[in-house]
Structure 1
C-alpha cells in the first residue's frame, strides 16, 4: 500500500480505542506517512450514536462527532474539555455547560448550539426511535437550554458514570438537530453533518470506511491525511496483516502477546492498555447450595487468581478486584478477601447430628426427602407412615443418597437427619 507509516508503526494489544479518537496523541507519534490502515473488529452497524452497538460503531462515531468533553489519552482515566468551554456539576443531578462559540457543522448547517446538545441527549429517550442504546441516557430527565451556547443537564438521580462514560463516549456525542430532522430523524448509515476531526469520504460496506480531515474541525490537527478502517473479524488474520505490512494498527488477541513481547520487527510496537471491560466469575444465587454466604466466601478464598490468569491469559493480564479499571474512580487495588484455602475451616464447620440421636436403620423414601441441613421432629402421623413403609436393614457403611436415615431416641419424638 502507498504512503505507509515507515517508522514507529503501532500494533495495539489490549486497548479500547473507543475512548481515544484518531487525532489524539496515541496515534500521532507515527513519524511519517499520510495514510493509516487500521482494523475494525466488525462491520459497522450505525453512524448514529443512539444506534451504536459495538466498539467499531464507537470508533467511527468518535471520529466524525464530538462531545462536550473527551477522555484524556494515556493510562489515567480522566477527562478534558472538547466542545465545551466550561462544564460544572453543581449538585448530584445538575450539570451546567457552556459551548465554545463559533463551532461549525459540516455541509453548511451552521453553528453548534445548546439546542443541538438538548436534541442529541433527549433523543435517546424517544420511544418512537426505539434506539438499542437508549438505556445509556436512562438517568437523564431533560436538558434545559438557557442561552445560545449554554444549558443545564438535569438528571433523575445521581449517576457516577456521567463524566467517565456518558459524556466522553459515543452517548455524549453531539449531532446537528437541523440535519437530522431533515433526514427524517434517523439517517441510518449516513452522516448528514458532523463536527469531528474527520469526515467520511467513502463507505464500502464489508470492505472499508475511508476518512479525511474535516474542514470545519476546530481542534488539534489530525495526525493523518487519510484513515482507512477495514472490518476484520478474524483476529489471527488481523495479526498476520499487521506483521505483513497490510495494516498499521490492530487489536490483537491475548494469546499472541507473549510471542510478540519476545520480538517484533523494528517498525512495530506492542502497546498494552487497561480497558473498562472486565471478565468475572460469579455465584449463581438461585442455586440452593450457594445460598449460604459462608459457602460463597469459602469458594472465593480458594480461588488462585494468579494461576487462573497465567493459564487463561498467558500472564498478560493483571488481577482485578472490582469492576472499575485501574486508574478509574472506584478502582480497588486489593481483594476484599485474601486467598486462604484453610481459612474456611476456622470460620465454618458443618454441624453433624449427635451419634446417640440416630438409629442405624435406613428406609427408602421415594416421595419425600429430608431437609438438607437440619433435623426436624417427626409427628406421630409421620411415625405411623414410617412404620407402614417397607424397611430394609442398613447397608454396611453410609446410607446411599436415595435413602433417608430414620432417627430415634429414647425421647417420644424422633428426628429426621440428612443422609451422610
Structure 2
C-alpha cells in the first residue's frame, strides 16, 4: 500500500502545533532561498535568534564557535537535553526548479540543514508554549560548519560545555530521501568516520610536443587513481568495508602544456580506527611508490583535512528514542549496517561524556512512493532513481519534511523531558 502521512492527533507537547506549521514551512523556504557556507551562516543565525526572541523564556546566545547559536529553556528540575541542528549549505549549483530555490549562485541547501533549523525552531516554540507538558532543561544548539567537520569542534573550543547547562543526553536528526513518517537509526556505530585527503604530485613541465623531456604529473595521477582502487579489495574482509573515492583531479590549464603538478582530492570513509590508520598508511605507500616509479622531481605531499569522527549511538539511549518514535511498527527501522555518510555531531556527546543519539528521518511526500518504491524500502534499499542528499536536485517536501522533523524531535526529547513519553506524539507510520 502506498505510504500515507495523516495528521496525528495533537496532545502534550504537540498541542497547537498544526496551527504553527505553515510558519515553520515558510521559515524553511526562506532559509532554502538564502544558503550560506560553513562559518558564514550570519543571516541564518540572525533568523534563528529573531525567531527565538518570540518564544517565551528562551535565553539566546549568539556567536558561539563563530556563527553558532545556543538557546536555553529552563522548566524546573529534570534532565538536561541538548537538541542539535546544523545550519550550513554547500557549494552546489541548485537544479531543483523550486519557486524558493537558492538566490545565491553556486550555493545550495543540498543536504537539508534548512529543514533541521526550521524543525528545531518549531520544537523550541512548542516547548515554550507547553511548559505544563514537560520538566527539565532544553538546550537548542544551532551549529555552524558541519559540512567541513569543524563546527562542533569550534563550539566546544568556545566553551559551549562550560557556558551552558551540561547535557544528560544529546539528540540529533537528519532528513533524507525517505517518505515522511519513516525513521532509521541503530545502536552503536551509525555513521562512518571520514577524512579528506589532499595529494599533490610533483613532475616537470614541458611542451606537449616533447613529453620525453617532462615528468608528466597527469599520467602519474592517472596511475595513482587506478592503484588506489585496489585498497579495499586487499584489506581483510570487513563489514562494512572502507570506502575510498577520488572526487577531484586538478592539473594543467591548456592542452599543449604538460604541467608541473597534479592534485588529487580523496574521500576516505571507515568504521573503526584500526582500518582508518591502515588505509591511510597504504594510501601513502602507494602514492609515494608510484611517484618514485615515474621519476617525480620530489616526494608527493599528502595530508588529511575536514575529518569527521565515527558517529556512535549509545545503545540504551537509542532504544529509548526508538521506543518514543514507535519502533516495532513501520515508523522506526534499525539499520543493518552504519551509513557511509559522516557527521561531526558525535563530538558533543563524546566531549560531555554523555549518551548521544543521531537518527535519520524521511522528508519526502509519501504520495511519491508507489508499490515498487515501498517494496524497495521494505528490502532495506532505496528505490532506483532516488535523488540523494548533496545532489543539485535534492529537495525535501516543505510540507512533509518540516512537520516530520518537529514531531520526531519532540518525541525523542519528550522521552527524557516528560514523565510519560507518549505525551509527545511521534509522526505516524506509513499506512
* TM-score bucket of the superposed structures, by smaller chain: under 0.3
**Structure (1 or 2) with the greater helix fraction:** 2
Q: TM-score, normalised by structure 1?
A: 0.22
Larger Rg: 1
